[in-house]
Structure 1
Amino acid sequence: MIKINVLAGFLTGIVSTATGMILYILLFSDLGLQPTLKDALRNDYLGKIIVLGAALNFLPFFVFLKKDLVYHARGVLLSMVVIAVALAVYKFW
């Protein structure tokens, strides 16, 4: 049961990051979603967009902690670690 709760938190963290990226692009970019992502990949600032999107993970993390869903919060934290490692590998590859 614990693994399912951590997995649910992990998926929540990934979806929250993707949602944050989409919201950031739609609110602050003059281009659309796909052209902005292509431009970010071409000009090497995709990692910055992902990090700004990952800031939205604070919301589910603290909501899970407030509701005493500790293993869900651990899953969100795990998703943040996976995103950070993936960005480090992407940046230094």
Structure 2
Amino acid sequence: MNKKDLILGFLIGFATTLLGSYIFITIFTEFKFITGLQIMKSHGNLGKIITLGTILTLIAFGLLLKMNKEMMARGVVLAVIVMAIITLFI
């Protein structure tokens, strides 16, 4: 059960990061999501967009801790760590 919770938390963290990046690109730029990602990558700003997208992950982490889902919260933290590593290499 613990591994399922950890994987589910990882997926929640990854999904909230993607959702946050989508919201940021569609609201604060005039581009569509895929076009915005391509343009941000060509300008070298993709890591910054991913970092801004993790703000929603903070909310998910807090909610999971409030609901006493510690293993899922660990999965969310793991997703943030993986995203940070990805951001370093992009």
Identify the TM-score tier after normalising by the shorter chain.
Answer: over 0.9
Residue 31 of structure 1: SS of its match in structure 2? coil
Residues paired across the two proteins, number: 90
Q: How far 1:54 moved relative to its partner?
A: 1.0
What is residue 31 of structure 1 aligned with on the other side? Answer: 31
Distance in 2 of aligned mates of 1:66 and 1:28: 31
Q: How far 1:55 moved relative to its partner?
A: 1.3
The residue type equivalent to 1:5 in the other structure is D
Residue 12 of structure 1: SS of its match in structure 2? helix
TM-score (norm 1): 0.92
What is residue 10 of structure 1 aligned with on the other side? Answer: 10
Query: 1:20-50: per-residue Cα shift (whole Å, max 9, x none)?
Result: 0000011100122222111111111011101
Q: How far 1:4 moved relative to its partner?
A: 0.5
Distance in 1 of aligned mates of 2:89 and 2:26: 27
Q: Unpaired runs of 5+ in structure 1?
A: none
Q: Unpaired runs of 5+ in structure 2?
A: none
What is residue 21 of structure 2 aligned with on the other side? Answer: 21
What is residue 46 of structure 1 aligned with on the other side? Answer: 46
Q: How far 1:14 moved relative to its partner?
A: 0.3
